[in-house]
Structure 1
Amino acid sequence: MCILLLTTAHPKYALILLSNRDEYLNRKTSTAEFWHPKILSPLDLARPAPHGTWLGITRHGRLAVVLNYREDGENYVGKLSRGLLVREFLSDQKTTHDWAAQAITRMEELSGDVGGFSLVCGELKPNGSGLEEFAIITNRSRSLGEGTAWIFGDDNDNEYTGDEDIRQSIMEKTYGISNSLYWQPWPKVHRGREMLSTIILNSLKQNSSAHLNEEEQQQALIESLLDLLSVNSISESVLASGDPDLLFKSLGESIFIPAFHTGRATATGTPADYSQPREDSGYKYMKGGYYGTRTQTVVLVSTSGEVTYVEKTLHNCDDNTAGNQEGTVVHRFQIEGWDAHP
């Protein structure tokens, strides 16, 4: 299952975002690109156009990430793609609060048409001491209104004194969510927040040394963040068992999910299993032979509004061989209008 980690605790970066996308390896996906002049994201090609996405950012600083909610039993495939929520937010011009209010009303009307999700969205705008508020919207609480949380807006300046004060302050500005409710995090989220806080603390100490220039410091930070996204906590006994049921039950424990065989036929074999989508959902998606972490993403937004977007593709087809890697793409751009905000 996927994981999203975010922090506003680094004094050189208004936001640091980390994401693992865990998915069946046969699900058709494009790598991140500017498919629209203003919108950067990968695209989920499993459904008919318009294609949704799980993560994206615009040149104006709109950012959104969606994570599926892990249902009991088979995951529900709704009439409407959850990835379209990200696309819609990125394409809109409303404030986060106005868009969230409208989305909550619409999702309540379409409750039976959309699978469980948590949507993190907001505008990357400095507010004097941090970022404007981001929303976390879920449709698996008692009501969408009650299930909406707001983060970032109350974060204080990143002025630190003393190691314990630093660590506590970093943790308070570091957030995480996976495929459960935001306020009921899985163990992998707790572990991820702690590890990200340690990386930020170590980065602060490293930045005080003179042996690395700014570019080298950023690259070292990116590498440490990708290392975090590659931490596998699934026990050797469970991995060795090859039991898909045991492996799927372990997904809440591990930040990284090594690709494993699901017990279903691969794309080159006879399809052994289908999800049960609604007939009007527009597609019939075969669950593939392998499942695991497919894509790792790191987004750095500097305090001057410069974006560094790093996407690492680990798998692009339904097998688990070393030749099944597309590599890494990097995009850099300046958020338009950043200097217009306090």
Structure 2
Amino acid sequence: MCILFIANKMRDDYPLIIAANRDEFYARPTAPSTFWKSHPHLLAGQDLEADGTWMGVTRNGKIAALTNVRDPHNINKNAVSRGELVANWLKQNPAQKDYAEQSAYLATLEETRHQYNGYNLLFGDVTALRVYNNVNNSTHSIDTGVYGLSNADIATPWPKVTQGVTALNVYVQQQNTINADDLFNILRHENKAEDALLPDTGVGYEWEKALSSIFIQTEKYGTRTSTLLLVDKNNTLTWKERRFSDKGKTVETRAFSFSI
């Protein structure tokens, strides 16, 4: 998962909206979203190389999503796969959902943070979410507002993050109804950042430019899926996923809906 946008408590009809893109090498084997046979309460796609996931939910409203921190000069090739952090949160006792459980998981993240390469983990449930960054060992609560998270910490205003936050903020405040296609269109923005605004993360100009759009497409790497998570005023959770080919064409759309 490389970018996500959150509109939290901005609307009465949809108090929680999350729109996210997962960017990955096209060759990495991946299973589409479904309820896992081993954990029937857990809905997520699956990274078949490391058996984790990048984003998921549970039937009682737990949520988790991951973005990597881009820092090529500090990569540990023997690090534990970050995708297990999402799965581990979602696999926990499906009957339990409280703030104390979040605090306990946060303590685990802090204790084990050096075992993983850099990441941001959004986790919690539909009523309380937070973001943990293991690089600077910081936690940020998701309060009322619109947020964006990419491959730096949540306070870093990369151009594509600012673009998506602005677009989602305008949309949720001005539209009478929420339409999934409109949200998918925000995730489909392909315009690159101006050179003067590009971050310098150590991957070189060509990659910085290619990775500066919300939707990414290169020869071997790009946006593999777009995912929407919406919770309405009646506590009905809707999950929609679009999967893309290496040419950026939609190859499948999946949708799930259930009461929390």
TM-score bin (small chain): 0.7 to 0.9
Q: Which structure has the larger Rg?
A: 1
Q: Note if contact 2:89-2:105 (Cα within 8 Å) is conserved in structure 1.
A: no
Q: 1:74 to 1:28 in 2, by over 3 A?
A: farther
The 2-side partners of 1:89 and 1:180 are apart by: 22
Residue 198 of structure 1 and its aligned partner are, at CA, apart by 1.6
121 and 100 in structure 1: CA distance in 2 versus 1, 3 angstrom threshold: same
Query: 1:183-332 residue pairs with structure 2 within 5 A?
Result: 183-204=155-176, 207=177, 218=178, 221-234=179-192, 245-251=204-210, 253-258=212-217, 260-261=218-219, 290-315=220-245, 319-320=246-247, 325-332=250-257
User: Structure 1: which 5+ runs fail to align?
Assistant: 125-131, 156-172, 208-217, 238-243, 262-289, 336-342
Residue 113 to residue 59, structure 1, CA distance change in 2 (3 Å): same
Aligned-pair Cα RMSD in Å: 2.4
- Residue deviations 1:302-330, cap 9 Å, x none? 11011111100002xxx5485xx531111
Contact 2:193–2:212 (8 Å) recurs in 1: no
Determine which of 139, 159, 164 is the counterpart of 2:134.
139
- Corresponding residue of 1:148: 139
Other-structure match for 1:271:
none
Distance in 1, matches of 2:112 and 2:12, equals: 41
- How many residues of Structure 1 are paired with residues of Structure 2 in the alignment? 248
Per the TM alignment, residue 39 of structure 1 is displaced from its structure 2 partner at its CA by 0.7
State the Cα distance separating 1:123 from its structure 2 match.
1.5
Letter in 2 for 1:253: S
- The change in CA–CA distance for 1:321 and 1:112 in structure 2 (over 3 A counts) is closer
Structure 2 distance, partners of 1:115, 1:294, is 21
CA contact (8 A) 1:22 1:257 kept: yes
- What residue in structure 1 maps to residue 120 of structure 2? 118
Q: TM-score, normalised by structure 2?
A: 0.86
Amino acid at match of 1:3: I
Report the alpha carbon displacement of residue 115 of structure 1 after superposing the two structures with TM. Answer: 1.0
The corresponding residue for 2:87 is: 87
Q: Take 1:297 and 1:45, find their aligned partners in 2: how far apart are those partners?
A: 18
